[in-house]
Amino acid sequence: MKLKVFLSTALLVALTAAATNYDEEKAGDYTLPDPLVCADSTRVTNAEAWLQKRRPDILELYRENIFGRSPGAETNVTFNVWETSTNALGGAAVRKQIEINFSGTANGPFAHLLLYTPAGKISAPTFLCLSFGGNYAVIDDPAIAIFPGWNWKTKELGMPKNPVRGEAARNWKIAGTLARGCGIAIMDYREVEPDLPGGTGFKYGVRKNFPLPTTNGWGAIGAWAWGASRGLDYLVTDKDVDAQRVILFGHSRLGKTVLWAGAQDTRFAAVIANCSGEMGASLSRRDYGETVDDVAKHFPYWMCGNFQQFSNRWNILPVDSHFLLSLIAPRPLFLNTGSEDRWGDPHGEFLAARAATPVYELLSKTGITETNFPPLDEPLRHDITFNCHAGKHDVLPSDWDKFLDFADAHFPQKN
Ligand code: GCU
């Protein structure tokens, strides 16, 4: 993510460090709710009951208590494919630049989707990625338009000061993705709603167009997730993309976002949540690294107002992260973590993956049945894939190799 945002969040981490537990022995005792037991205590024993009854109930619990309710797919969102090159990246790719107008009026807000698909190929499995910065940063391609971006520190919208094309390329593997027959689409989450301190970005993003109650209306994560679905609305219309094989990717707060987007929008064929941590894939009832209290205190605007009631009262949460993971089932899910990302609690993500596994199995899919945390960089490859890279809270080039293996395993190339 952008350095300034990183420094601010690092400062928050430091400020809360005294209260943060990093001792496995002190992670606490807890009982997880069972995703297969309904509110009326009946047990879900078949796929139909899961899909018709329990899954909608869990989704509703998340809407009411955690991320809030979002609007549907509003029809006034418009798309303008303003640039197409069939000879991009030295002939390896078709490049498109698409303006998304979230209101269909001159007021926007607007997001700018960058799409590369392999040259000469139609209907490619495609990654839709939320990113922390401008499109110019993901690859050194002089044709990529540079737009003003929101700055966390100055709280202003402005042209990047010294934009360096490809400055974030180490977090991506665009040429390698294309070489393996997949497309990749990227959008800057700040364009959906700027991520400003205290949630003041609310005034400039998509939420201002659809005001909802603060108690159970969408927080910023809900807004970013909704934006991802609007990106998908475009992708499903593009013949170069296989609408049935769009894999949603996000890191960190965007890892939380993609889990929520994938939970709500089942058109996403698979989800990759990288270092998603607290209120992403790691268990909230475990006292290790970041906690519910930290999120409620420092990032209240990510969530709906009702979320605040769980600060210091994790045991009354009607859900835990394995519920969120189970909402992705039966679709493939990749949880990637980092050995040095103690704040994100990799072990808590592993345990959540195990706890979501009965739902995958009920739907005739495979989850994590291994009892031991895997060796670093040796993924447990199932319909839930779990990996912990050696390193920090980051997206590494070696992670992309694993994401591409995951895409190959679940969406074998047709042509
Ligand atoms: C903070 C926050 C995390 C989040 C991360 C990020 O560290 O506490 O929950 O994942 O920022 O998005 O970078």
Distance in Å, CA 20 to ligand 1 centroid: 14
pLDDT(57) > 90: yes
Split at pLDDT 50, 70, 90, the class of 403 is very high
- Asked whether residue 3 is domain-assigned, the answer is no
Mean pLDDT of 197-220: 95
Q: From 12, 15, 252, give the residue whose CB has the most ligand 1 atoms within 8 Å, as the site to mutate.
A: 252
Determine contact, residues 206/223, Cβ cutoff 8 Å: yes
Lowest mean pLDDT among 3-12, 14-23, 162-171, 226-235: 3-12
pLDDT at 131 over 60: yes
Residue 136 has pLDDT above 80, yes or no: yes
User: Phi/psi class of residue 123: alpha, beta or left (left: φ > 0; alpha: ψ in -120 to 50)?
Assistant: left
Q: Above 80 in pLDDT, residue 415?
A: no
Assess if residue 327 is contained within a domain. Answer: yes
Residue 9: what pLDDT? 54
| Rounded Cα distance, 358 and 35, in Å | 8
11 pLDDT higher than 80: no
Q: Does ligand 1 lie within 6 Å of residue 112's CB atom?
A: no
Model pLDDT, residue 12: 54
Structural domain for 156, as ranges: 48-410
Q: Is residue 9 part of a domain?
A: no
- 262 — alpha (psi -120 to 50), left (phi > 0) or beta? alpha
Mean pLDDT for the chain overall? 95
What pLDDT is attached to residue 17?
44
- Ligand 1 touching residue 278 (CB < 6 A): yes
How many CB atoms lie under 10 A from the CB of residue 372?
7
Residue 117 and residue 135: Cα distance in Å, rounded? 15
CATH number of the domain enclosing 187: 3.40.50.1820
**389 is annotated as an active-site residue:** no
Cβ proximity of 123 and 110 under 8 Å: no
Q: What is the mean pLDDT of residues 157-179?
A: 96
Per-residue confidence (pLDDT) for residue 13, from 0 to 100: 52
**Is residue 17 included in any domain, yes or no?**
no
Average the pLDDT over 347-372 and give the result.
98
What pLDDT is recorded for position 8? 53
The 10s digit of each residue's pLDDT in 361-378 is 999 999 999 999 999 999
Of the candidate ranges 68-82, 124-138, 263-277, the one whose mean pLDDT is the lowest: 68-82
Indicate which atom in ligand 1 lies nearest the CA of residue 6. Answer: 13
**Which H or E element spans position 116?**
strand 110-118
Which residues lie closer than 8 Å to 9 by C-beta, 6 or more apart?
none
- Asked if the structure places residue 4 within a domain, the reply is no
Segments in 197-345 forming alpha helices (H): 220-235, 253-264, 292-298, 321-326
SS3 74: coil
Does 164 fall in a domain? yes
CB-based contacts of 217: which residues, under 8 Å, 6+ apart?
68, 69, 211, 304, 305
CB of residue 281 inside a 6 A radius of ligand 1:
no
Total domains in the fold of the chain: 1
Burial of 375 (0-12, 13-18, 19+ CB in 10 A): exposed
- The question of whether 85 is a catalytic residue gets the answer no
Task: Tell me, yes or no, whether 207 lies in a domain.
Answer: yes
Tell me, using a 6 A CB cutoff, whether residue 240 lines ligand 1: no
Identify whether 36 is part of a domain.
no
Secondary structure percentages of the chain, helix, strand, coil, to 5: 40, 20, 45
Set 70, 131, 252, 284: catalytic member: 252
- The 10s digit of each residue's pLDDT in 210-267 is 989 999 999 999 999 999 999 999 999 999 999 999 999 999 999 999 999 999 999 9
Instruction: Enter the DSSP assignment of 369.
Output: -
- Residue of 251, 290, 293, 298 to mutate, ligand 1, most atoms within 8 A of C-beta: 290
Q: What phi and psi values does residue 128 have, to the nearest 5 degrees?
A: -105, 120
H or E stretch including 96?
A: strand 93-101
User: pTM, whole model, 2 decimals?
Assistant: 0.96
